[in-house]
Amino acid sequence: MDMDIVFATNNLHKLEEIGALLGERFRLIGLKELNINGDIPEDHLTLEENASQKAWYIYDLTGRDCFADDTGLEVDALKGAPGVYSARYSMIGHPTFPEMEPAEGNIRKLLFEMEGKNVRNARFRTVIALVLGGKEYQFEGVVDGRITEVPSGAKGFGYDPVFRPDGYEITFAEMDLALKNQISHRALAVAQLVQKLKGM
């Protein structure tokens, strides 16, 4: 039986990536297709609450089964920051590097905050909230690693140039996308979502 499911995102790249993983039994619908163009509220302090808030917001608006994701980079030496603020880290508090592209400003701020710190453990964490028949399920994907001293590599996006996953000598930004997509936080969370949906 074919099933429509809404992914609460406007990011076409994410839609395509997750759509391919779900396979032909599922038709993934993005927010553009539903003419939902405004920002979806995500004003909580945890990835879990934000993913949940986004999924329920779209479920309440459309009455359709849907899921939403939220990702953060959690750095031990910074007490879990940037965490839920990963996308706009350099603009939090006293804005730093406002003249830079957000990803570059975020990396510059992170490396500044990490100066002189020997403990450089960090993790990317993705939480997916799925609302199915009015019931919520959550899935988590985690990849542990370290924050490098300097950026390296040009692939990927966001904090990829300064994140070296455990078990590898290269950063995410030096890694082929196909490999990153097998081992990433998002891939691990999506694998659980796919398992749940396929088991229905």
User: Which residues are identified as catalytic?
Assistant: 70
Can you spell out the DSSP letters for 101-152? Answer: -HHHHHHHHHHHHTTT-S--EEEEEEEEEEEETTEEEEEEEEEEEEE-SS--
Q: Which residues bind ligand IMP (CB under 6 A)?
A: 70-73, 86-87, 106, 124, 156-160, 172, 184
By beta-carbon proximity to ligand IMP, the closer residue of 2 and 39 is: 39
* CB-nearer residue toward ligand IMP: 9 or 197: 9
Q: How far is the CB of 48 from ligand IMP (least distance, A)?
A: 12
127: tokens are: 């939480």
CB of 33 to ligand IMP, least distance (A): 19
Nearer to ligand IMP, 149 or 200 (CB): 149
> Residue 133 CB, nearest distance to ligand IMP (Å)?
25
The CA distances from residue 186 to 35, 45, 85, 99, in Å, are 26, 20, 17, 29
139, 130 Cβ separation under 8 angstroms: yes
> Which residue has its beta carbon closest to ligand IMP?
158
Burial of 171 (0-12, 13-18, 19+ CB in 10 A): buried
